[in-house]
Amino acid sequence: MGMYKFKNFLDLKFWDKYKVRNYLFYSGIFFLPSALSISAILITISFILSNLNFKRNYLKDSWNIPFLLSSILMIISTISHFLFISIAKDSTWSPSLSLFGLFNWIPLFWVFWSAQSFLKNAEDRRKFALILLSGTLPIILTGILQYYFNVTGPFKLFNGFITWYQRPLSDISGMTGLFNNPNYMGSWLNIVWPFSIAGILSRNKNKFSTGIKIFFSISIAFCIILTNSRNAWGGLLTTIPLVVGIKSLIWLLPLFSILLLTIILTTFPSLQGNLQDNLRLLIPDKIWMEFAEEGFSGMDLSRVGIWMYSLSFILSSPILGLGAASFPALLEMETNIWKGHTHNIFLEIAISYGIPSAIILLFTIVLITVISFKIIYFNDKENYKNLYFERAWWASFFILLSSQSVDIQYFDGRISITFWILLAGLKNIISDNIKLKYNVCKK
């Protein structure tokens, strides 16, 4: 009898019957914001079970081909860095960093493919969004504790297996919560912000449930403001018309105008005077200084300057790149200034693994984004027009992708995993639309 049960345990149908892989996946998503180590284990097991059970052919899906090609080019590039690339001996850079850098990409291409089996339809995607929102609660709570009660870390569990970073606010410009950087915190909140709006807009007769959704949405928006991240602030406002629709511009445009006027009045040197002084007293310093000259006075190198140096480095080895994480070492040797990355995801891939890898990868991602946008926002079918969670899904990915053009939060594992799962959902929206048109044609 015991042997019989053991054989059942090894049978993939047994796992599928009790939806074990689904529970593992959704549990992994819930822990993703707060416990990456546990989340990665749960998600990986769910993906392995899913791939073994369904035995899908990776090469049959044409969307996988560009990512496979990018993987090959990146591997060739990495080998070349070991054989040919040599940065100064006193530099901290090593070719092994290119090898480690592959883990930011190749395993995540697998995530893109594997996650699709859990995001087959709009209901699957809605469920994912709600669980991701639920898992964000610790982010909100710890952020508030940090900002208002000076509760700081880092806090470690299981000998560091789970680590929560919370730096003292005196050392940073804004709230970080469980992240080690306010821009990362802002990026995560921008990911879930569209889903919180969709939750409110979705029909629900339960007033208590609606009240909780509204309170949670306000909390997310409030924490985004407290990050003092201009990138996050832009996402906060841009998301609303993308999810709610054009009708939101009726009240959003006046709000934009007021905010723009306030920024001008509090930051422009030519407008110095009593009015500017009084406005600065009303608005927290950390907010208006994000746009004023005083906030940039100590900057050693502007973002445009970083991009110009990045381009010059890329052109020195355009095909194979100079190696992952080589930019900080190269910049420091040339300017004696340290910057952790290029602040642009395309430039980062190009300098790490070459322009061909960057073009193939970014072109494919942008193509999926554009095609899914047309389907979600311009499809004639009524069911698409009313699916706020589908709009929220697209908005979440679009804001995340756009933010990588001026900063890079991608290298946080929580954000990169979510990036590729969101992209997998957009790819499934495209596949669903193709199947729908095919079935209509058959009839």
- 199 plus 100 within the same structural domain: yes
- 138 plus 14 within the same structural domain: no
Q: What total number of domains does the chain contain? A: 2
- 265 plus 357 within the same structural domain: yes
Question: Which of residues 17, 38, 55 is at a domain's end?
Answer: 55
Low-confidence stretches of the chain (pLDDT beneath 70): 1-18, 54, 85-86, 88-91, 170-172, 288, 292-299, 380-386, 436-443
| 240-287 pLDDT tens trace | 999 998 888 888 888 888 888 888 888 777 778 788 778 777 777 777
Question: Which of residues 55, 84, 100 is at a domain's end?
Answer: 55
- Neighbouring C-beta atoms of residue 144, cutoff 10 Å: 17
To the nearest 10°, report the CA torsion of 327, 329, 332, 334. -80
- 11 plus 156 within the same structural domain: no
Please identify which residue in the block is written with the tokens 């193709």. Answer: 434
Q: What is the pLDDT of residue 209?
A: 82
The helix (H) or strand (E) run that includes residue 199 is helix 182-201
Q: What is the pLDDT of residue 15?
A: 59
Q: What is the pLDDT of residue 44?
A: 97
Distances (CA, A) of 251 to 195, 246, 248, 304: 21, 10, 6, 34
Q: Give Cα 43 distance to the centre of its chain.
A: 17
| 49-89 pLDDT tens trace | 888 876 778 888 999 999 999 999 999 999 999 888 667 55
- Neighbouring C-beta atoms of residue 121, cutoff 10 Å: 11
- 8 plus 121 within the same structural domain: no
Closest CA to 398 of 249, 239, 256, 217: 239
CA R_g for the chain = 23
- 31 plus 64 within the same structural domain: no
- 357 plus 433 within the same structural domain: yes
- 7 plus 142 within the same structural domain: no
- 32 plus 168 within the same structural domain: no
Question: Which of residues 55, 70, 93 is at a domain's end?
Answer: 55
Q: Which domain holds residue 40?
A: 1-55
- Give the separation between CA 280 and CA 423, rounded to whole angstroms: 41
Length of the chain: 443
